[in-house]
Amino acid sequence: MKKLLLIIITIPFIITSCKKDNKSSIVTTPEDPNWIKLEIPNGEAAYAVAGNIDGSLLVTTKAKAYFTTDQGKTWQESKNFNGPIQGLYANKDTVLALLATGGLELEGTLKASIAQFYTLDMGKSWNRYLDYQRAQKISKPIGIVQSAQNKVTYELKYNTKPVSANSNAYTHGPTTILRDGKSIGLPFKVRIENLYMDSNDRLYVAASGGVYNQEKDAFTFNASNTPAVIYVSRKALP
């Protein structure tokens, strides 16, 4: 029987009213022919994505939820979770915020689980999820998605190494995205937190804004001034 290893993150939730921050995103210069780069200033890292860049796009960062309706030109903060939301589970017009992480020991698949809040308008407003029994059963894999059209699987490969011999602490190199087991060859070197694919089979890469130093094989972060970064494929990946 498979054992379930569940790590629950306890977060003191604070409900906030929707407010306009008018935070601008930054597009890579020069523009990449295959990827759009969006940034949420001071977000530190993007953890989960829902929606569509052509309509409403919802993103959770290290502590908060933001949404954009103008393809990332401006972002509005809609909720302060005081901690990362590891997954966004969408069911028709409802998006559930999943606060815990865990995984099956034998399969090694990391999952987000336990719904605490939900939104019916792609992040503009939030409500507490009160179906406690169902909340415990909802889960979503982290860092693995499948295209709807051709059923191709994309997943993350975390490139880590111990800081020293016999150490339990690890450093993170740039994350690799595998397509059916082979690297897709990203033009950017970032630490990736999650993947998402919209109804048009465009891939969204949720990442931290740390800068990679190739000589030191390490990332540097500018504390809370580090942006959350989302890369969006301009078209469906083959």
148-188 residue pLDDT tens: 888 999 999 988 777 777 777 777 789 999 998 899 989 99
The pLDDT value recorded for residue 225 is 87
The answer to whether the beta carbons of residues 56 and 123 sit under 8 Å apart is yes
- Round to whole Å and give the CA distance between 83 and 209: 17
The sign of the torsion formed by the CA atoms of 136, 127, 9, 68 equals positive
- 135: enclosing H helix or E strand: helix 132-137
Give the burial string for 27-53 (b: 16+ CB within 10 Å, else e). Answer: beeeeeeebbbbbbbbbbbbbbbbbbb
The answer to whether the beta carbons of residues 75 and 40 sit under 8 Å apart is yes
Q: Which of 235, 238, 237, 233 lies closest to 38 in space, CA to CA?
A: 233
List of domains in the chain: 35-236 (2.120.10)
Global pTM reads: 0.84
94-150 residue pLDDT tens: 999 998 887 654 456 789 999 999 999 999 999 999 998 999 899 999 999 999 888
More confident residue, 28 or 52: 52
39-79 residue pLDDT tens: 999 999 999 999 999 999 999 999 999 999 999 999 999 99
